[in-house]
């Protein structure tokens, strides 16, 4: 980077820091303003609510006092009316005089009594203050008062406010001694009202104007209480801030009001017949905003300074590190180039190995196919020679089995490369498994003219039963023995020794040593013996035929069993395989004398009726002929849906078993089996369903059994296996 470019970059960074600083200060200022407004609104709302609550308490006391006073008026008017009625009973010419009225006023603690005739005119009165009868009647609803004369059980009561803010409590009811109305009243002076307003003022005395702002309580057109004495008695409509708050019509909502150069913030609370105002100058509202902005500026400058200092130090370090990085880069580049060269070489080797493998596989597959095709042509040319045709069929069967073995090896290798495939954990008798393997291997060795030696353990196996996958375990040994036979000499030897290495935590470990006196392997080839695309003697295909996958399969199976395999070999001397495998110890299984818990009555297929579901015409024809040759009757359908419909439309017991292909159009064999098992008929759950499929792996068999099938047979069909599978189902 040039110096000019570096200076331009620094100028851009400085400009960005200034712009960002302004943005930060603006954000802090806006946040502080919002926070101060929120806090002010909360403080003023709390203050206004408290004052409102106190005013409500005073109002409640006043209402209670009013209610009590009016009740007393009712009691007084009823008592005086009874007195008049009693006097009338004693003296029919009774007329209340001023003395009696004065006595009633005194005894009932009243301010005065009025007696009205039926037209509402005052007959007589007695009063103890300056309230005249005419003024009092002007404050009342004359019609409501006179209704009591007609309805004598009715009582009219009311509190009225006088012009001087004093108030009068009255009660009126129809006279019981004569026509007309009896009205009593009690006058409360204006001094009492002022005492009430003073109590409101006193509760505002604790609010300081400077810290709390202004609080005012108005009733009607007068401010009756405030912590600002100059506002008491004034009309709130004449004070701008209170007028604006009132006009907003919003309670507990802070509003801004301009007052010339300055402005204020305030809100209001509305009571029953009064308003509470709370307001504060803007200087008090935003008291913390400047301080917050100054703090933000200081922190930002400190942060920017720290960052710039760190950047400066980093630039210094960067310049020092550049040369080191340059040198390291050159070294890494050289190393990467070397790795790339090696990777190219490995890729070329892998491609060459794959090409060689495909070439060998093509050769291996074509060899038995050429034999089968050639023998078929010979049979066609010598159709009149049954002995030759029979001999050729045996040769074709050998070639077909060899071809099947090649295909199985390739598929097995593909499956073992899938880490999601899990081996079964079955109880295995190592003694029985050894007998099976030795029987097969010894026969191969004898046919090849080899000497077989198997050294049995010096003592009986301490743990003869273990958990393992017998299929994969048998495959390991047969592959190793197959190599020992294939790459041996005429008159050579195969030697096997087995020993137990001990037991710990329920795990027993066994070791096998298998040696031969064959052609051996070079030290270079031993490094690649487990590679699936390599084979040492690929030029000797006529003698050492096979896929070249045997040891790759063995290695992957042993690794999946947490075991190890070691190979030592010398050309023209022989090879030694050392196999070590740990097993989980299993208990001896219970001895069963029957097949599947019961004796099978099936010895052959004669007279049995099968429902065969097979979509491939050739496979269906072969299966139909083979089953027919065994004396069985076959009903053929072409897919799973037809199998379901055929079974559903038949009488129970029509079919002895169902032979079901898996991969079929319309409805596959798994789905068809589930539908049959779900039918509500007597034989739907019990009829044997046997899978016949080219999907020959263990997980394929498990899927079939999980779907409700009874057995799994891999194609091509062997009638012995078919008969045995049917026997196992009965």
% the chain with pLDDT above 70: 85
Report the pLDDT value the prediction gives residue 542, as an integer from 0 to 100. 40
CB 482, CB 555: distance < 8 Å: no
Task: Provide mean pLDDT across the span 634-644.
Answer: 94
Interatomic CA distance for residues 649 and 482, integer angstroms = 52
Interatomic CA distance for residues 309 and 494, integer angstroms = 80
CA dist 465 → 273, 495, 507, 523, 588 (Å)? 99, 24, 12, 38, 6
CA dist 626 → 241, 603, 620, 718 (Å)? 110, 16, 10, 9
- Position 134 confidence tier, pLDDT thresholds 50, 70, 90: confident
Report the pLDDT value the prediction gives residue 375, as an integer from 0 to 100. 77
Ranking 1-5, 298-302, 630-634 by mean pLDDT, the lowest is 1-5
Interatomic CA distance for residues 69 and 81, integer angstroms = 18
CB 262, CB 256: distance < 8 Å: no
CB 676, CB 705: distance < 8 Å: no
Q: Which of 65-73's residues contact partners 24+ apart within 8 Å by CB, and which partners?
A: 66/159, 66/169, 69/159, 69/169, 69/186, 69/188, 70/157, 70/158, 70/159, 70/169, 70/171, 72/109, 72/169, 72/186, 73/157, 73/169, 73/170, 73/171, 73/184, 73/185, 73/186
Interatomic CA distance for residues 30 and 23, integer angstroms = 10
Report the pLDDT value the prediction gives residue 366, as an integer from 0 to 100. 65
Give the DSSP letter string of 488-512.
Answer: --TT-EEEEEEEEEEEETTEEEEEE
Interatomic CA distance for residues 213 and 284, integer angstroms = 8
CA angle (710, 711, 714) in 5-degree steps: 155
Nearest in space to 685 (alpha carbons), one of 671, 699, 693, 674: 674
Residue 508 in this model has a pLDDT that exceeds 90: yes
Residue 482 in this model has a pLDDT that exceeds 90: no
Contacts (Cβ under 8 Å, ≥6 apart) of 649: none
% the chain with pLDDT above 90: 16
Nearest in space to 532 (alpha carbons), one of 414, 611, 619: 414
Q: What are phi and psi of 564, to 5 degrees?
A: -135, 155
Interatomic CA distance for residues 425 and 110, integer angstroms = 109
Residue 717 is given by DSSP the state P
End-to-end CA separation in angstroms for the chain: 88
- Position 208 confidence tier, pLDDT thresholds 50, 70, 90: low
Ranking 137-146, 249-258, 329-338, 608-617 by mean pLDDT, the lowest is 249-258
Nearest in space to 204 (alpha carbons), one of 182, 238, 227: 227
Q: Max Cα separation, the chain?
A: 165
Interatomic CA distance for residues 212 and 641, integer angstroms = 88
- Higher pLDDT, residue 591 or 646: 646
Q: Give the 3-state secondary structure of 570-612.
A: ECCCEEEEEEEEEEEECCCCCCCCCECCECCCCCCCCCCEEEE
The string of pLDDT tens digits covering residues 370-408 is 677 877 878 887 888 888 888 888 777 766 766 666 666
Residue 730 in this model has a pLDDT that exceeds 70: yes
Q: Give the 3-state secondary structure of 338-401.
A: HHHHHHHHHHHHHHHHHHHHHHHHHHHHHHHHHHHHHHHHHHHHCCCCHHHHHHHHHHHHHHHH
Report the pLDDT value the prediction gives residue 361, as an integer from 0 to 100. 63
Give the DSSP letter string of 385-449.
Answer: -HHHHHHHHHHHHHHHHHHHHHHHHHHHHHHHT-TT-----EEEEHHHHHHHHHHHHHHHHHHTT
The string of pLDDT tens digits covering residues 257-297 is 876 666 888 888 887 778 888 888 888 888 788 888 888 88
CB 226, CB 197: distance < 8 Å: no
Interatomic CA distance for residues 371 and 511, integer angstroms = 41
């Amino acid at each position: 980077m040039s110096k000019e470019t570096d200076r331009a970059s620094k100028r851009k960074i400085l400009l960005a820091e200034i712009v960002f600083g302004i943005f930060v200060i603006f954000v802090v200022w806006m946040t502080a303003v919002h926070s101060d407004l929120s806090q002010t609104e909360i403080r003023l709302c709390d203050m206004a609510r408290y004052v409102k609550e106190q005013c409500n308490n005073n109002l409640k006391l006043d209402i209670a006092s009013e209610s009590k006073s009016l009740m007393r008026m009712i009691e007084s008017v009823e008592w005086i009316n009874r007195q008049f009625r009693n006097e009338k009973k004693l003296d029919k010419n009774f007329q209340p005089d001023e003395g009696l009225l004065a006595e009633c006023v005194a005894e009932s603690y009243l301010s005065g009594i009025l007696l009205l005739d039926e037209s509402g005119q005052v007959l007589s009165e007695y009063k103890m203050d300056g309230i005249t009868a005419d003024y009092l009647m002007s404050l009342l609803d004359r019609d409501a008062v006179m209704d009591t004369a007609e309805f004598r059980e009715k009582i009219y009561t009311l509190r009225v406010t006088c012009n001087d803010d004093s108030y009068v409590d009255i009660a009126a009811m129809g006279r019981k001694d004569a026509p007309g109305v009896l009205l009593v009243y009690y006058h409360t002076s204006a001094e009492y009202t002022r005492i009430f307003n003073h109590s409101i003022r006193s509760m505002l005395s604790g609010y300081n104007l400077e810290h709390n702002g202004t609080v005012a309580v108005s009733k009607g057109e007068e401010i009756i209480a405030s912590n600002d004495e100059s506002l008491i008695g004034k009309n709130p409509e004449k004070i701008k801030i209170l007028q604006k708050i009132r006009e907003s019509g919003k309670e507990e909502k802070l509003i801004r009001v301009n007052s010339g150069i300055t402005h204020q913030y305030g809100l209001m609370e509305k009571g029953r017949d009064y308003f509470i105002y709370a307001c504060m100058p803007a200087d008090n509202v935003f008291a913390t905003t400047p301080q917050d902005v100054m703090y933000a500026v200081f922190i930002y400058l400190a942060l920017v300074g720290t960052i710039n200092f760190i950047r400066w130090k980093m630039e210094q370090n960067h310049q020092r590190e550049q040369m080191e990085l340059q040198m390291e880069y050159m070294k890494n580049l050289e190393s990467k180039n070397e790795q790339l060269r090696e990777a190219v070489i490995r890729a070329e080797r892998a491609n060459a190995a794959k090409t060689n493998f495909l070439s060998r596989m093509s050769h291996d597959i074509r060899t038995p196919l050429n034999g089968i095709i050639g023998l078929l042509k010979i049979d066609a040319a010598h159709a009149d020679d049954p002995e030759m045709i029979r001999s050729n069929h045996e040769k074709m069967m050998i070639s077909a089995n060899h071809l099947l073995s090649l295909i199985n090896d390739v598929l097995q290798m593909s499956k073992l490369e899938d880490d999601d495939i899990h081996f079964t954990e079955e109880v295995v008798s190592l003694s029985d498994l050894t007998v099976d393997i030795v029987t097969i291997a010894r026969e191969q060795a004898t046919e090849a003219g080899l000497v077989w030696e198997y050294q049995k353990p010096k003592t009986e196996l301490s743990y003869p039963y273990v958990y393992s996958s017998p299929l994969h375990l048998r495959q390991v040994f047969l592959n190793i023995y197959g190599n020992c036979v294939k790459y041996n000499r005429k008159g050579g030897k195969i030697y096997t020794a087995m020993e137990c290495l001990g037991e710990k935590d329920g795990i027993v470990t066994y070791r096998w040593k298998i040696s031969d006196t064959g052609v051996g392997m070079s030290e270079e080839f031993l490094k690649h013996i487990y590679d699936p695309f390599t084979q040492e003697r690929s030029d000797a295909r006529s003698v050492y035929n096979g896929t070249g996958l045997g040891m790759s399969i063995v290695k992957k199976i042993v690794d999946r069993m947490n075991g190890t395999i070691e190979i030592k070999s010398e050309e023209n001397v022989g090879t030694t395989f050392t196999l070590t495998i740990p097993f989980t110890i299993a208990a001896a299984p219970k001895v069963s004398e029957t097949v599947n818990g019961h004796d099978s009555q099936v010895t052959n297929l004669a007279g049995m009726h099968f429902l065969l579901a097979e979509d491939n015409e050739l496979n269906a024809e072969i299966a139909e002929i083979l089953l027919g040759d065994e004396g069985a009757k076959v009903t053929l359908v072409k897919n799973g849906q037809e199998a379901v419909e055929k079974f559903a439309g038949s009488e129970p017991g029509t079919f002895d078993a169902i032979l079901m292909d898996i991969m079929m159009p319309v409805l596959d064999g798994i789905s068809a089996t589930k539908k049959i098992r779900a039918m509500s008929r007597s034989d739907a759950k019990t009829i044997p369903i046997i899978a016949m499929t080219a999907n020959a792996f263990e997980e394929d068999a498990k899927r079939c059994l999980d779907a409700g099938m009874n057995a799994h047979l891999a194609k091509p069909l062997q009638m012995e296996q078919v008969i045995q599978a049917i026997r196992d189902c009965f």
